Amino acid sequence: MMYGKSRPRVTMQQGDLKLQRRVLFILCAVLLIAVIVLTVSVIRASVYRSQAQTQFRQRMIGAAASAVDEVNRMSGIATSSTSARLSRVRQYIYSAEQMNLMSVALSGEGERLAPAELFSALYTDLDTFEAATQAATSSTLDIRAQLLDHLTQLQTALAE
């Protein structure tokens, strides 16, 4: 065993210390730039998502208002224009539902603008209205009122 020999001392030279500080400074600068770029990207994505949600909501409100206008133009009895009006109402509802689904796809289930059950009720109303129109045996006032009620619920859900 060698007790008498001492280990050589490792010393840093002044140049090595400066090099380490430069490397550390560069790493910190790169990390800071990466954090800034990531923050800007997150903010932009958030703004985009918010703008998309606003646009979906506005278009859904427009579709619901157009559907209400079409239903209001219908009379209590089936006429030759009732089927065409029902088709347009169905298109407006379908359009609103698709925008609702795009909102969910973009931002997740928590960002659903209107409940899916409301669209199911609207489609049921339209099917019932269409069947009553084709049978032409009874007044469509009750079905029309129910359809208007569900459209109003859609408008209320979108206004929140």
For domain 54-159, the question of CATH label 1.20.120 is answered with yes
For residue 18, the model assigns a pLDDT of 84
Does 132 have pLDDT greater than 60?
yes
Residues whose CB is less than 8 angstroms from the CB of residue 8 and which lie 6 or more positions away in sequence, other chains included: none
Apex CA 98: angle with CA 97 and CA 99, to 5°?
90
How far is 4 from 19, CA to CA, in rounded Å?
A: 35
Q: What is the pLDDT of residues 67-124, one digit of tens each?
A: 999 999 887 666 777 888 999 999 999 999 999 999 999 888 888 899 999 999 999 9
Q: Hunting for tokens 């339209």 — which residue is that? A: 126
Tokens coding 103:
């909102």
Residue 130, number of CB atoms within 10 A of its CB: 18
Q: What is the DSSP letter of 77?
A: S
Indicate the domain borders of the chain. Answer: 54-159
Q: What is the mean pLDDT of residues 52-60?
A: 93
Q: What is the DSSP letter of 109?
A: G
Contact 132, 143 (CB under 8 A): yes
